[in-house]
Structure 1
Amino acid sequence: MNKVAFIITKSEIGGAQTWVRDQIKLLEKDIKPIVITNKPGWLSESLPDVAHYFLPEIESRFSFSALSKIVQHIKNNDIDIVVASSANAGLYSRLAKLLTKFHCIYVSHGWSCLYNGGFAKPVFCFIETMLSYLSDSILCVSQRDYDNAVTKLHISEKCLVFVRNAVFPSKVNDSNSLQKFDKLKLLAVGRLAHPKRFDLLVEVVQHLPFVELTVVGNGPNGESLRHKKYENINFVGEVKSFDDYHSFDAFILISDSEGLPMSALEAGVAQIPMILSDVGGCGELICKLNPNGILVLNDNQSISNAITNLFDNYTKFKHNATIKSKDFDINEFKPSYKKIYLS
């Protein structure tokens, strides 16, 4: 049984952390996992029976001390495979490969060097391209990530693998109509911070009296978003292991950049329609022929029109969301993941 170390910069709740948790649960009978992260948090609490190695220095952009400790931990535990699930973790894991032997898999949850590089974007992209030569494989969680790796980062397709994100099945919304006849119960889940655009979402929804928006999540922008009371918007804060998607009519995610958002997948598998910003891999979650949701531009009119359209044609969108839900089930992708880890 292969020993697999999952390296991720932070243990707080997030899409990449959810991916790590689900990988370990999906393959619990096939691998022996170890998690390397900064400190105890949501991820370690979600995997109480899994060995964890806490390394605060991993949060630094680069620390020789962190690199040395990671290499030593890999050697001491006879790690066969290292799976890195953040840009920082990817840096450490691939440099560690220069100092000891293991199979290195880097997971792209959206290329941060492309979306968040700022004025240093060319430098970060060059570094990512160079690091790809130290990767045994790079796993892209969306087709958009794969395409960007080839066309923008010029990474060889020989080391690229595409397996679209998916999640475990959950409780489903099995109603074909609105839960309140005259209201659309709309849900938004995510960290209240860049690149999420909860500010834009709130600006639109407060003027739509037929919408009841519930926002699940917390973050640095929370105080400014909650500075005044809204009649139709409820901020509930962070809810650990939130799985109540089925209690809502629809899901909405407005963001400046995404890989393939876990919250949208969780909404999709719960059989509710989605409104998503047309960024990253979000377009891969919406069926064009029989739409289970709507893609929007990040402007007030586009978002408002989409919410109104979904409300007016809810039965059609809900029917399609029910059919589409099976495409978000992680169990369907288990053979693909086993091939990556066990071949």
Structure 2
Amino acid sequence: MKVIQIIDSLNAGGAERVAVNIANELADNDIESFICTTRKEGILKDNIRSNVKYLFLSKKGRFDIMAIKTLRLYIKTHKIDIIHAHSSSFFIAILVKLFQPKLKVIWHDHYGNSEFLNERPIKILKLVSKKFNHILAVNTILKSWAELNLNVKNVSYIPNFVDINLNEEGDTKLSGNNSKRIVCLANLRPQKDHITLLNAIKKVFDQFSDWSLHLIGKDFSDEYSKELKTIMKKLNLDENVYIYGSRKDIYKILLQCDIGVLSSKSEGLPLSLLEYGLAKLPVIVTDVGQCKEVISSNKLGRIVEANNEDVLSEAIIKLIKDRELMRTLGNNLYSHISKQFGKDSIVKSIIKIYKEVLC
């Protein structure tokens, strides 16, 4: 069995990290594993293990003939059986399949705005979905949506998984006081709703001015980024809120923090939440996507209403006031994630689907 993961970039996003994680784990399970990034390389390239073969296409547009030919020849030369296409990379996968009909295509749906699926463009996706052999969805909402809207019989819910990388590069030193750091691991995108988080954190800092907030994730330097920085200045948060951009040493960063927060308007099953758990952080997350599947009780963390700065600030303040609760929640979540979202069982499920597709 030979499998290639295809992803548009290697920026530090959720879909990108899943693609790299799967490629690495397949190689460690004696499957010849490949990964192709179509448009951009990025910070996650260094996370690809040496036993995974790598291809970069530098694709310039949807119908980049040279990129399509390069991928087609690469797949033919290496006798690859399965294309595992992540997010929007399904399009080039289907174009290659048109020339090599025996290829199996599995599409992995990571759509982050699963709370707003009525706004999702569907025309092209529905048309090409006839060529998919299987769909993997990162949450049950997306699974149900695919079953209702796309032309595929086989759809499976496969939760995301994370793994601690003790050999990750980088040595980021966080600012602020030790034992008084809140972290939000999320690219600076509107769906992550850092605006509500900043308004909530202002209320927290009015009571606990020695605490700090650390935003880890790609800064696209766009209008949303500018708006966040304007709000920071308006709320006088410049000395307590720090923006770091993308970082390679996520686990090392999380070990320097005390509370993990996600304030998203929409999610799938966020890798950040799983990573918080593996770092034994107590977490506060909004009730979107599959977050409640992970934080299934108050013994594991706190679920709050999205887009509500008051309930978010109250939840953070309650944790700050109770160190023992913070430790208990962090330890409980670590145990839960290790058992329910461990890589071994999830990778076995993916490999089983590969085998079924090839039958």
What TM-score, normalized by structure 2, do the two folds share? 0.80
Q: Percent identity?
A: 27
Instruction: Give the counterpart letter for 2:17 in structure 1.
Output: T
Deviates more, 1:239-248 or 1:11-20: 239-248
- Point out the more displaced range, 230-239 or 60-69: 60-69
Paired residues in the alignment total 326
2:194 corresponds to: 198
Following superposition, the deviation at residue 146 of structure 1 comes to: 1.4
SS at match of 1:26: helix
- Please give the residue correspondences for 1:320-335 in structure 2 after superposition, counting only pairs within 5 Å: 320-326=332-338, 327-335=340-348
Quick one: distance in 1 between partners of 2:6 and 2:136? Answer: 14
Unaligned runs of 5+ in 2: 167-175
Aligned to 2:244: 236
> Deviations along 1:286-318, whole A, 9 cap, x unmatched?
113634232331122232233234334551533
Cα distance in structure 1, aligned partners of 2:86 and 2:266 = 17
Shifted more, 99-108 versus 278-287: the winner is: 278-287
Match of 1:188 among 175, 184, 187: 184
1:76 is the counterpart of 2:77: yes
What is the alpha-carbon distance in structure 2 between the residues aligned to residue 112 and residue 132 of structure 1?
20
What SS does the aligned partner of 2:159 have?
coil
> What's 1:27 paired with?
26
**1:90-105 equivalent positions in 2, closer than 5 A:** 90-100=90-100, 101-105=102-106
Structure 1 residues 230, 51: closer, same or farther in 2, change over 3 A?
A: same
Whether contact under 8 Å (2:108, 2:135) holds in the other structure is yes
Q: CA deviation at 1:116?
A: 7.9
Question: CA offset at residue 319 of structure 1?
Answer: 4.8
1:159 equivalent among 151, 154, 158: 154
- Equivalent position SS for 1:97: helix
Give the conservation status (yes or no) of the 8 Å contact 1:190–1:263.
yes
**Corresponding position: 1:285 with 2:266:** no
| Structure 1: runs of 5+ lacking an equivalent | 172-179
Q: Which residue of 2 is the match for residue 294 of structure 1?
A: 303
Look up the equivalent residue of 1:24 and give its one-letter code.
A
Q: Residue in 2 aligned with 1:54?
A: 56
Q: Which of 249, 255, 264 pairs up with 1:246?
A: 255
Q: Please state how far the C-alpha of 1:97 moved relative to its aligned partner.
A: 1.7
Map residues 107-256 of structure 1 onto 2, 5 A cutoff: 107-110=108-111, 115=116, 118=119, 121=120, 124-151=121-148, 153-154=149-150, 156=152, 158-169=153-164, 184-209=180-205, 210=208, 211-219=211-219, 220=221, 221-227=224-230, 228=233, 229-244=237-252, 245-256=254-265
Q: Retained in 2: the 8 A contact 1:268–1:328?
A: no
Alignment CA distance shift 1:97-1:307 (3 Å): same
- Check the 8 A contact 2:86/2:109 in 1, yes or no: yes
**Amino acid corresponding to residue 241 of structure 2 in structure 1:** I
What RMSD over aligned residues (CA atoms) do the two structures have, in Å? Answer: 2.9
TM-score (norm 1): 0.83
Q: CA deviation at 1:273?
A: 2.1
State whether residues 292 and 324 of structure 1, in contact with CA within 8 Å, keep that contact through their aligned partners in structure 2.
no
Q: What's the offset of the Cα at 1:85? A: 0.9
Question: Cα–Cα, structure 1 residues 143 and 133, in superposed 2: closer, same or farther, change >3 Å?
Answer: same
Alignment of 1:257 with 2:266, yes or no, is yes
Aligned-partner residue type, residue 239 of structure 1: R
